[in-house]
Structure 1
């Protein structure tokens, strides 16, 4: 009885220690941990053991010896100071860039001022104004009464910070309710168009009447189409000026329909050109070539530098046909797909295939049963193992990395009293999974597997991002990844 209860108590201790660590890329967490569980405002410096209020940002000031808010850490080395100072400067730069971007978006909004004729027709409209110490913002915010109240002369009075915060909170509450009731994703509030909408409504003033469904379906949609065409014209001019790339891919939707997309990319951005449903057609090299060649004619063959696709055999057959007809246009393989094939190839090597298969088997077993899944979430503090990635193999890598991070939690789970009482513990699969969990050989091999794949997954993330073109750095990053893998393999005697 005592033996079965011991793992559970140990798991609580492990959970407590683990909860003091934060899963963050912020460099500040290298030098601190939470002083109090689940309170990110109080952190403890690992160098001098000082408890600091103000979170990880204040801790970085502590390490970097920035005076004014916190005492300096006397045990920080010059390298530690430089790392935290660089992180603080980078954070400050990002905030400044965000502020400048928001200001730029607001400046693009220009609501025309009304003339004397418009006053008679639209009494509810007011001229653009900015927040001042004495203005209409002093009255209560009530959307239901705005049409009536906007026709009255507003009483002017002083406004202070407390009133401003209260009114801001009221506006936030109305906006939040609309977001919740309309099931709008939270990250949509970061959309540039949303920021411009708020600025436009603010400039318009009280009494703004939103468009009807008909206006959104017909005139406003047509207006948006015309605006998009004007934007495309600018990109078409750029195609002629500096060239462009054709990108095509095939995928299946939820109804299992096969769809092919075609886009054009230049330094101004990516433009969607065409989409066809090809469920009834065989995706042969000739079929893909005909589809791409048609749009090469539309865009202008002299403007196209390359065609980008994945490395499937039918795409390679289409590349040969294009080379015969238009030898001056390159057919380039997708960097993301190429890297994914490299990772899959390494993963098929016996040394790594064994670890990957064991990890998949462990993950599938835990997620296949309600009881095992509930136990896992209990011992990992409701953190999941399965994590989605850029590609299928990237997801497998992230899952293996997650397993490694939760190694101690999973061990305590399978040594706990709850697992012994679970009906799955006595099954053949349960016994096999238990053997895997308690096997030190498996965890050592998993650790090595993650370290080997990590440099290539890093490159995969870089090339899949939209923040900058990857052509200029992908070869250098691959070379660095190769050197890192060689270094790791030399340090391992069994590879």
Structure 2
């Protein structure tokens, strides 16, 4: 079973381009590779067989039916490059043999090592004379060696190794400068180098060698765009095929452009992946709930009413009105508020608590001082081993509390820094601002407040990462996660009068925005959480579960079957009671568990898989520089359609890479970069009246070395799975709650 395979991280030292398109697993003592496009497992043959599979080169491996065309071409070029290198090595070896005496005759003279195309390293006699004897007996041959005294034959001339190294470094710099000049000239985002398609492009050009024909403007907007649409449609169609079988969610993400235009971007999420559907300019109608309703209704009909389980939008009043009207029109789907936005609102409300707001202001004064003085920023990065204090993340309020956690983790480094002579020698440290910053950093009460805030908000931040995670549906975890957040706050503060203030904030947002039958049903259908409840609690079926049965399953006969099957699930009867089923409650994803063990309750299992395969959030990654606005400004219908198709390709290529987990690791985020400034503005933006002119020599800055301290969303899921919790809720018609508001189902 796939669940028995242990994933193995692919080392960054593996440079073959095929490693970017497969996953590695350990199965007992064997290592297996898996194609990320068709999911075929390979037990042998190594990366070369994967490459043949992706290149659709018949022979030792089957052809991949789903590989994108550009990947197939790169794999073909790589295979051709391997063949060329082999032939070149053979040719060099034959040339050496024809002009140099045999190795045995000269004690190893003539041993050569490839350094690059057309380059041979020839060791001098005194360098290898000692290699005979013990080394040959030990290894059976003389290893190819490159010694400082070696000379190199390059293009018919003898050059030293140091000269070749210098040329290599200069060549690399020239390549990087050429790339930079191109990006600067077209005004592209510097984040472009983090695209997962950037390195494959460089590899493809390098494999072709000099003289690659220049791509034309008309090629890009002509046959290449046409082929790209066909490739993306293949991914789109694979996702679409699951909509009717497992159900899907329509996500509505509102964007405001730099010119103030309001765009609604529509996505469809299902178990197979996330796809971009289209973008619509609603600048003139966004506040009209009637117009919004008609728009949502049209999108649902386009996707298929019978396929859509829920429509997720923001929580503004016009969305609420239009969403509830939509749910009333289509009796088999729900309108659901975006969980990520609701959790962000909880963080916003917490940030407004007076003592927390004061503490955040003090923390921001520290970072503003540091990030506006180059010498002090360099000093800070040295004392923190390259780590940054400010950690931009998904929203401004999440950034506040993630940054505060980062500062708490680096507290000792900061306190050490401001007590050194190096700090004292810096001119700004002697001014009023510098003295005030040092006092804050050395204040025990400040750090005590920071630590308490981190304990209060870290569980919410973890839940925010869970609901926004692209690779694991969060529907089965949202309710349990929220209860875990409240329990963590209670454990931190202890006194009821203290923790109830924060419970009130969470409950207020939950009652207004997030309380939903789907969340309650998903909790009930998640075997890990449901079977963790006391026996008495399991005897009751939550009303949210019954609501979902009535709404999502209109056929009364099937409803009756589900009611009977619910008894089997509650009692862990049949396959639900198998030892394997009990053991894998903790390891399998909820939908996978139902697919494996729900055969005896087919109607209930189908409903459970539909619900547990859904997402909770309508926020789709970070905002990207895709020309949405250009599409809506264009008046020519032909060009407008071409631009719409271009946006369709651009966005879905990004989403496809997220789905297969092949995004290039972007490296440390720089808090002062223009691309992060919207999130980190209050932490790094200078207040002139306070700090003066600062120290703005950016060319003297040391760059950040360490990535964000954010935890992996998989760890957050694991925390939810392993953490115990009690079912918590306000008195809203639910029975059996105690004085702290803790209840049992």
Partner residue of 2:444? 440
Partner residue of 2:179? 182
Kindly state the Cα deviation for residue 246 of structure 1 after the two structures are TM-superposed. Answer: 0.8
1:422-480 CA-partner distances (Å, limit 9, x unpaired):
55446554444333222111111111211222222122222222121111233333333
Alignment of 1:334-349 (within 5 A): 334-349=338-353
Q: Of 212, 216, 240, which residue of structure 1 is paired with 2:215?
A: 212
Q: Does 1:227 align with 2:173?
A: no
For 2:340 and 2:388, locate their aligned partners in 1 and report how far apart those are by CA, in whole Å. 26
The alpha-carbon distance between structure 1 residues 168 and 358, as it changes in their structure 2 partners (threshold 3 A), is farther
The alpha-carbon distance between structure 1 residues 354 and 232, as it changes in their structure 2 partners (threshold 3 A), is same
1:109–1:199 CA contact under 8 A, matched in 2? no
Q: Of 315, 334, 337, which residue of structure 2 is paired with 1:311?
A: 315
1:424–1:430 CA contact under 8 A, matched in 2? yes
Partner residue of 2:139? none
Matched position secondary structure for 1:182 = helix
1:181-200 CA-partner distances (Å, limit 9, x unpaired):
33595554x65x96699699
Partner residue of 1:110? 56
Aligned length: 378
Partner residue of 1:490? 494
Matched position secondary structure for 1:301 = coil
Q: Does 1:138 align with 2:89?
A: yes
Q: Which consecutive unaligned segments of at least 5 residues does structure 2 have?
A: 1-24, 60-75, 98-110, 120-163, 184-191, 500-745
For 1:306 and 1:272, locate their aligned partners in 2 and report how far apart those are by CA, in whole Å. 16
Alignment of 1:16-415 (within 5 A): 104=50, 106-110=52-56, 135-138=86-89, 163=113, 181-183=178-180, 187-188=194-195, 212-213=215-216, 214-370=218-374, 372-415=376-419
Kindly state the Cα deviation for residue 329 of structure 1 after the two structures are TM-superposed. Answer: 1.8
1:340–1:391 CA contact under 8 A, matched in 2? yes
1:281-318 CA-partner distances (Å, limit 9, x unpaired):
44343333232222122222222111012323332222
2:286–2:292 CA contact under 8 A, matched in 1? no
For 2:368 and 2:479, locate their aligned partners in 1 and report how far apart those are by CA, in whole Å. 36
1:397–1:450 CA contact under 8 A, matched in 2? yes
For 2:425 and 2:384, locate their aligned partners in 1 and report how far apart those are by CA, in whole Å. 19
The alpha-carbon distance between structure 1 residues 312 and 163, as it changes in their structure 2 partners (threshold 3 A), is farther
Output the TM-score relative to the length of structure 2: 0.43
For 1:464 and 1:369, locate their aligned partners in 2 and report how far apart those are by CA, in whole Å. 35
Partner residue of 1:43? none
Q: Does 1:469 align with 2:473?
A: yes
1:46-96 CA-partner distances (Å, limit 9, x unpaired):
xxxxxxxxxxxxxxxxxxxxxxxxxxxxxxxxxxxxxxxxxx979x99995
2:268–2:277 CA contact under 8 A, matched in 1? yes
Matched position secondary structure for 1:433 = helix
The alpha-carbon distance between structure 1 residues 285 and 226, as it changes in their structure 2 partners (threshold 3 A), is same
For 2:96 and 2:254, locate their aligned partners in 1 and report how far apart those are by CA, in whole Å. 62
1:340-363 CA-partner distances (Å, limit 9, x unpaired):
222222333334333223212322
Partner residue of 1:60? none
The alpha-carbon distance between structure 1 residues 379 and 233, as it changes in their structure 2 partners (threshold 3 A), is closer
1:262–1:273 CA contact under 8 A, matched in 2? yes
The alpha-carbon distance between structure 1 residues 197 and 410, as it changes in their structure 2 partners (threshold 3 A), is closer
Partner residue of 2:567? none
For 1:126 and 1:327, locate their aligned partners in 2 and report how far apart those are by CA, in whole Å. 53
For 2:274 and 2:78, locate their aligned partners in 1 and report how far apart those are by CA, in whole Å. 38
For 1:468 and 1:329, locate their aligned partners in 2 and report how far apart those are by CA, in whole Å. 22
Mean Cα deviation higher: 371-380 or 234-243? 371-380
Partner residue of 2:531? none
Q: Kindly indicate whether structure 1 or structure 2 has the higher relative contact order, using CA contacts under 8 Å at least 6 residues apart.
A: 2
Q: Which consecutive unaligned segments of at least 5 residues does structure 1 have?
A: 1-87, 114-124, 142-153
1:105–1:195 CA contact under 8 A, matched in 2? no
2:77–2:204 CA contact under 8 A, matched in 1? no
The alpha-carbon distance between structure 1 residues 368 and 112, as it changes in their structure 2 partners (threshold 3 A), is same
2:362–2:440 CA contact under 8 A, matched in 1? yes
The alpha-carbon distance between structure 1 residues 492 and 238, as it changes in their structure 2 partners (threshold 3 A), is closer
For 1:369 and 1:305, locate their aligned partners in 2 and report how far apart those are by CA, in whole Å. 52
1:109–1:200 CA contact under 8 A, matched in 2? no
